[in-house]
Amino acid sequence: MLATTSEFRIEGFRSQLESAEFDIFYHAPLLIVISGSSEGPWITEDCALAAENLMLAAFAERLGTCWIGFAQSYLNTADGKAALGIPDAWIPVAPIIVGSPRGPAAPVSRKNPEILWVD
C-alpha cells in the first residue's frame, strides 16, 4: 500500500518528531493559528490571505515569522485542537510563529518564473 503524502512527510522526520528536544515551533515566543470558524468555499484562501497580511505587518515591525505547515495536520485533529483550545468546529489553516530574528534571512535561490500568456 502506498503511503499518503502526510504519512511520507511524517516518516521522513519521525526520529526528529519523537525527540524530547525537538520543538516544532522552534521555541518561538508567539504562535498564532489563523483559523476559520465555519465551512465555506473560500475558508482556506481567506485564512491564507490573512496569514500573508499578518506576516507582512510583522516584517514591517522588524519581526520574523514562519508558517509551520508541518503542524497543520496535527492541529486539524481533536488532540491538536484540544491542545490549543481551538473549538471543534473551527478549521486551523495557518500556524505562524512570530519572534525576533537573530539576523537577516539568508538569500534563497529562485527558479525563473514560467509565464503562460492566454489570449
In this predicted model, what pLDDT tens digit does every residue of 1-30 receive, in sequence order?
344 445 546 677 778 777 888 888 989 999
pTM > 0.75: yes or no: yes
Q: Which CATH architecture has domain 23-99?
A: 3-Layer(aba) Sandwich (3.40)
Position 83 pLDDT exceeds 70: yes
What's the rounded Cα separation, in Å, for the pair 80 and 23? 15
- The residue ranges of every structural domain in the chain are 23-99
Backbone region of residue 95 per phi and psi (left: phi > 0; alpha: psi in -120 to 50; beta: other values): beta
> What is the identity of the amino acid at 106?
A
- What's the rounded Cα separation, in Å, for the pair 20 and 17? 8
pLDDT at 20: 84
Describe the strand order of the beta sheet including 64-67 as a list of residue ranges.
Answer: 30-36, 91-99, 64-67
Compute the distance between CA of residue 119 and CA of residue 16 in angstroms, rounded to an integer: 49
pLDDT tens digits for 33-44?
A: 999 987 788 999
pLDDT > 70: what percent of the chain?
91
